[in-house]
């Protein structure tokens, strides 16, 4: 997509430099960097398109391509070219990303490339202790940066390799490194590498849209070079021909069988589908995902007999949410063979129940009559009913742990401690359930959320999850959407939920505690201590 004439000598020189580098990973480690056609085209265009004064036309390079297509190696090559082959005096080249560890991915590849090259090793030295590669011939360096934008002012930048731009939490670091930071250089180069993201209010989406408009001819910026390998929203994401079209390294760097396996998982799981479309096909997907198909959930409606579970070990999750809305508790009974029985408890204020029926368009009063839901007197939930239920369940079942959301739980937790629940794991044991604080962020919620989805959609083992066709829980599951962060973590999206999901949240917390002990059998506390998150 070059707009000016290609200077053949400059283009050939840049391609030669890249091809003299060595691969650093996998089966190609130590072999020459044989450029694929799409990589060759980018390098020739970027370094070979010159202005009449002999300097490069392009200042910004935006490359958006699905994962595993070789972005890191290409980015490392850009960094080393700018450090060692650009005829720039005292070049300052930086690798940047959402955090230093991410920034070091490209930087470390570049360091390995230096180690593999006798020519580069003669003039450059890798200093891992300060995350730098120093070029003693021209006084320049290549450095991996941390993410704090306020420490990056005053740099005299000749080049930036910005990795996974879609993970940037805001535009601060991008602005500091790209707005005026290279003004003292004749031909600074800002290389932006990324896969599609999920946040359309981000700096990456802003740059993506500019790149897309330039490619389509809607917008003109002769200094901006854009490459996007992406599947359009209406195109068939399950068609292998489309996989090859948007993955320019497929069949060479990427094994088609691995993509097929990822597709197989995606076809069965809405969350995996979103990840497949985002990471494998470079589609900007929604940050929220309809988590569990109701057909799959309904297939898990195996009968749950509370009497037959009497005396069995269980792990509870308690979500009090708001005292004026719905509160929920999930009791999760592991069968020690990879399966789980689920008993749910729900509470709602009696005085506001009819109004909520009209607003939420659900049959709360019917569920109360059927015994699925408890209406407590007044216009707020009476937590004494929850306390009473917990103690009843504690007498009937062997509750090992109670996971709870810290929000609004101080009073009832104090009361439960009076009843024999404990906060100190050393005091936990028979008759004394351990109270476990449970965060509502990605760190705590992601793993059990994925586990619940997997259990629900597991076609080969439909009986692993048994929820007894609880209609209140089914309504919550039908409302459930999960949000996804840049690291592919998931959590229930409480903020955007238009209907109640409290029962699912309680279930996820209880499931997390149960899964932690699933492999240890029913004597978990007899053989060793307690595990606390």
**What residues are paired with 141 via a beta bridge?**
92, 134
CA distance 394 to 356: 31
pLDDT number for residue 4: 63
pLDDT over 60 at 2, yes or no: no
Distances (CA, A) of 428 to 257, 318, 324, 401, 517: 48, 18, 32, 9, 15
Mean pLDDT of all residues in the chain? Answer: 89
CATH 3.40.50.300 assigned to domain 8-229? The reply is yes
pLDDT number for residue 481: 86
Mean pLDDT for 258-268 is 90
pLDDT number for residue 198: 85
Q: Which of 525, 511, 470 is nearest to 338 (CA)?
A: 511
Q: Quick one: what percent of the chain has pLDDT higher than 70? A: 94
CA distance 362 to 324: 16
Mean pLDDT for 120-135 is 94
Residue 422: partners with Cβ closer than 8 Å, 6 or more residues away: 428, 432, 433, 434, 435
Among 332-336, 362-366, 376-380, 423-427, which is the least confidently predicted range?
A: 423-427
pLDDT over 50 at 117, yes or no: yes
Top mean-pLDDT range of 287-291, 389-393, 479-483: 389-393
Among 117-121, 132-136, 407-411, 449-453, which is the least confidently predicted range?
A: 407-411
**Tens-place pLDDT, residues 194-233:** 999 988 889 999 999 999 999 999 999 999 999 999 999 8
pLDDT over 90 at 250, yes or no: yes
The pTM of this model reads 0.67
Helices marked H in 420-481: 442-457, 471-479
Classify domain 294-527 by CATH number: 3.30.420.240
pLDDT over 60 at 320, yes or no: yes
**Tens-place pLDDT, residues 483-500:** 888 777 889 987 766 678
Among 60-64, 287-291, 329-333, which is the least confidently predicted range?
A: 287-291
Contact in structure between 206 and 177 (CB atoms under 8 Å)? no
Among 152-161, 319-328, 435-444, which is the least confidently predicted range?
A: 319-328
Mean pLDDT for 67-81 is 95
pLDDT number for residue 304: 95
pLDDT number for residue 360: 83
Band the pLDDT of 515: cuts 50, 70, 90. very high
pLDDT over 80 at 262, yes or no: yes
CA distance 278 to 290: 15
Contact in structure between 343 and 468 (CB atoms under 8 Å)? yes
The continuous run of DSSP H or E covering 439 comes out as: none
CA distance 71 to 79: 12
pLDDT over 60 at 527, yes or no: no
pLDDT over 80 at 448, yes or no: yes
**Tens-place pLDDT, residues 378-418:** 988 998 999 999 999 999 999 999 998 877 677 888 899 89
Number of H helices, E strands in the chain: 19, 18
Among 157-166, 167-176, 356-365, 457-466, which is the least confidently predicted range?
A: 457-466
CA distance 232 to 346: 43
**Tens-place pLDDT, residues 157-167:** 999 999 999 99
pLDDT number for residue 272: 82
**Tens-place pLDDT, residues 155-200:** 999 999 999 999 998 999 999 999 888 788 999 999 999 999 988 8
Contact in structure between 107 and 193 (CB atoms under 8 Å)? no
* Domains of the chain by residue range: 8-229, 234-286, 294-527
Among 65-74, 144-153, 509-518, which is the least confidently predicted range?
A: 144-153
pLDDT over 60 at 530, yes or no: no
């Amino acid at each position: 997509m070059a707009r000016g004439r290609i200077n053949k000598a400059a283009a050939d020189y840049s391609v030669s430099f890249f091809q003299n580098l060595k691969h650093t990973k996998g089966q190609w480690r130590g072999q020459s960097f044989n450029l694929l056609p799409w990589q060759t085209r980018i390098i020739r265009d970027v370094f070979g398109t010159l202005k009449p004064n002999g300097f490069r036309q392009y200042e910004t390079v935006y490359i958006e391509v699905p994962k595993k297509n070789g972005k890191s190696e290409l980015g490392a090559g850009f960094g080393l070219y700018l450090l060692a082959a650009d005829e720039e005096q005292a070049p300052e080249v930086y690798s940047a990303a959402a955090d230093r560890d991410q920034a070091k991915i490209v930087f470390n590849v570049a360091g390995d490339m230096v180690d593999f090259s006798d020519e580069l090793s003669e003039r450059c030295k890798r200093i891992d202790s300060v995350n730098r590669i120093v070029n003693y011939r021209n006084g320049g360096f290549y450095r991996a940066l941390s993410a704090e934008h306020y420490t990056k002012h005053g740099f005299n930048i000749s080049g930036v390799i910005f990795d996974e731009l879609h993970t940037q939490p805001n535009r601060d670091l991008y602005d500091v490194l790209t707005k005026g930071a290279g003004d003292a250089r004749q031909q600074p180069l800002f290389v932006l590498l990324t896969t599609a993201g999920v946040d359309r209010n981000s700096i990456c989406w802003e740059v993506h849209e500019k790149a897309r408009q330039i490619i389509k001819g809607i917008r003109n910026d002769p200094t901006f070079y854009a490459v996007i390998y992406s599947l359009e929203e209406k195109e068939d994401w399950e068609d292998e021909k489309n996989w090859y079209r948007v993955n320019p390294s497929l069949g060479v760097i990427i094994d088609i069988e691995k993509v097929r396996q990822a597709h197989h998982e995606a076809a069965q799981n809405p969350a995996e589908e979103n990840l497949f479309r985002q990471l494998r096909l470079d589609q900007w997907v929604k940050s929220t995902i309809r988590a569990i198909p109701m057909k799959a959930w309904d297939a898990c409606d195996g009968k749950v007999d509370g009497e037959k579970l009497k005396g069995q070990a269980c792990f509870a999750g308690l979500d009090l949410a708001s005292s004026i809305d719905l509160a929920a508790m999930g009791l999760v009974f592991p069968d020690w063979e990879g399966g789980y029985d689920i008993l749910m408890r729900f509470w709602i204020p009696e005085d506001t129940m009819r109004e909520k029926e009209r607003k939420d368009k659900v049959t709360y009063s019917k569920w109360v009559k059927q015994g699925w839901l408890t209406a407590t007197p007044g216009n707020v939930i009476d937590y004494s009913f929850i306390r009473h239920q917990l103690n009843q369940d504690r007498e009937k079942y062997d509750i090992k742990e109670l996971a709870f959301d810290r929000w609004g739980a101080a009073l009832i937790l104090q009361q439960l401690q009076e009843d024999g629940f404990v906060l100190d794991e050393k005091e936990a044991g028979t008759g004394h359930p351990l109270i476990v604080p449970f965060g509502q962020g990605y760190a705590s919620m992601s793993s059990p959320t994925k586990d619940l989805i997997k259990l629900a959609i597991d076609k080969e083992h439909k009986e692993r999850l048994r929820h007894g066709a609880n209609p209140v829980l089914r309504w919550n599951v039908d409302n459930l959407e999960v949000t996804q962060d840049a690291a592919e973590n998931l959590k229930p999206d409480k903020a955007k939920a238009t209907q109640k999901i409290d029962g699912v949240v309680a279930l996820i917390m209880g499931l997390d505690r149960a899964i932690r002990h699933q492999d240890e059998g029913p004597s978990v506390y007899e053989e060793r201590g307690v595990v606390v998150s």
